[in-house]
Amino acid sequence: MVLFVNACVRKDSRTKRVADRLLNTLNQPVTELRLADCLFPAVDEAFLNKRDLLIEEEDFGDPMFALARQFAQADDIVVAAPYWDLSFPAVLKQYIEQINVSGVTFRYSEEGIPEGLCKANRLFYITTAGGDFVPDDYGYGYIKALAENFYGIKTVELIKAAGLDIVGADVEQILSSCEEESARRR
């Protein structure tokens, strides 16, 4: 099963367009999680105290860990996150806070080194951006570091369409090229 983590909010999202092409290419059952539809709890002291107690008791069946369990069980993961306001959408960070669960998506060795517990072989990070110069590579570096170093996902790939809002850009050509690139991933 492919877990599609959809951080797109626009009806005609350019990022989702590219993601849809990849999802069709993968030709596997897809479970879509629209982050815009999620009501994430406030991460306050009460939340953290409950979470810490449940982790200590290894009670990972609690609904609090449902998103982490779903993420850990996916065969492949596709994250679609448009790049705006110099980052990915804040809702993606909220999601990451929910799936970073020691004992579900990763654990620490006795030496304190994180070991991945996720089943996924691959994670695809898809983004689109209006500009073409972004120093942090569209948030990809952060996602890649988590996937490889904590979740144990060996293959992490960036698929991006950039420069879409530059005056004179051939938006359709840029998107079509990105879609073709995504269609080559199997």
Exposed/middle/buried for residue 93 (C-beta within 10 Å: 0-12, 13-18, 19+): middle
pTM over 0.85: yes
Q: From first to last of the 186 residues of the chain, give the pLDDT tens digit.
A: 999 999 999 999 999 999 999 999 999 999 999 999 999 999 999 999 999 999 999 999 999 999 999 999 999 999 999 998 888 999 999 999 999 999 999 999 999 999 999 999 999 999 999 988 766 677 899 999 999 999 999 999 999 999 999 999 999 999 999 999 888 887
What three-state secondary structure class fits 5? strand
The CATH number of 2-183 is: 3.40.50.360
Burial code (b: 16+ CB inside 10 Å, e: under 16) for 98-134 equals: bbebebbbbeeeeeeebebbbbbebbbbbbbbeeeeb
Q: Hey, where are the domains in the chain?
A: 2-183
